[in-house]
Amino acid sequence: MYPLLFRHVLSRLDPEFAHHAGMAVVRVLGVPPFSWVTRALCAPASDLQVRALGLTFPSPFGVAAGFDKNAVGVRGLAALGFGHVEVGTITAIPQEGNPKPRLFRLVPDRAVINRMGFNNAGADAAARRLRRLRRRAPHAVIGVNIGKSRVVDVENATADYVTSAIVLAPLADYLAVNVSSPNTPGLRGLQAVETLAPLLRAVKTAAGDTPLLVKIAPDLPDDEIAAIARLAVVEGLDGIIAHNTTISRDGLRTDPAIVEAAGAGGLSGAPLRERSLEVLAVVKAAVPDDFCVIAVGGVETAEDVQKRLDAGATLVQGYTGFLYRGPLWARQINRGLARR
């Protein structure tokens, strides 16, 4: 039913409007009595539980950052069967993000281009929501992804990240440092090891006992990816998220004129499938076996998730597949994993 709804209705709507409409439904599904029914239909099998970062994840499959930017849909997403929800990216200073339109579908590729620009209500607003969530959804596993505020110069990025970490780390099950979005000017330059090391050191101190991970870009050369992975280990981080969206447009089936009209931004979805596995292999070769690695990119089916788990990923995240698979996506993934 959902493929027909997408083809004939949702695909005709503005992508950002459709996302907000979908999030409204997700929020409703997180509230009793709807959440009771949703959870009964979608709860992962108990044997899918994963122990990582000192936490128990009900399923290895979770929601990547970017879907729930302001921590408003966590209860609904958890009821739908996602093993964890990574909210954000959240910045210390509230910001509207880039001008619209800023979200574009590439339907033939089952992909999306976005240049949202970290649109969010800021760390203080997120903290208020997270406090309420801790009372209303105490068992949901919530990661918090933090990024640089756009108005802050790159030279002052460390202090900006630390501000967010101080506010949000006490309320997060884990904290993820996003230095890899292509949609904030200068951000990806922070991935240089000599710049990244003091930033991670400062954020780790601010995060205290909250597990800390770093999220990297797939567009880096493999040797730089390996260097960042080794740095994460040396600096005492708890894991690495591999990876963010790509600026590459190679191999797309969508009409080139449509791709060009969409313009700049990060590409996500099925075209990242192979690069995701390549980056995962590079990271795994550079870190200890028990180091937490969260694989992201090109994930749509249970087979995609299983391939990443077989390749050594501790957990797997998805986002774009939600658009093409619909609200029962996590249920489909979890049931497929259980059969395997």
Catalytic residue annotation:
181
DSSP state of 207: H
Provide the b/e sequence for 213-224 (b: ≥16 CB within 10 Å).
Answer: bbbbbbbbeeeb
Q: Tokens in use for 335?
A: 């049931």
* End-to-end C-alpha distance for the chain, whole angstroms: 25
What distance in Å separates the CA atoms of residue 163 and residue 279, rounded to the nearest whole number? 30
CB 157 within 8 A of CB 188: no
Largest CA distance in the chain: 51
Q: What are phi and psi of 175, to 5 degrees?
A: -120, 135
DSSP one-letter string for 209-255: TS-EEEEE-TTS-HHHHHHHHHHHHHTT-SEEEE---B---TT--S-
Q: Taking the mean position of all CA atoms in its chain, how far away is CA 247?
A: 17
Whole-angstrom Cα Rg for the chain: 18
Chain position carrying tokens 């083809």: 7
Query: What phi, psi does 233 have (nearest 5°)?
Result: -70, -45
Pairwise CA distance, residues 118 & 47, whole Å: 36
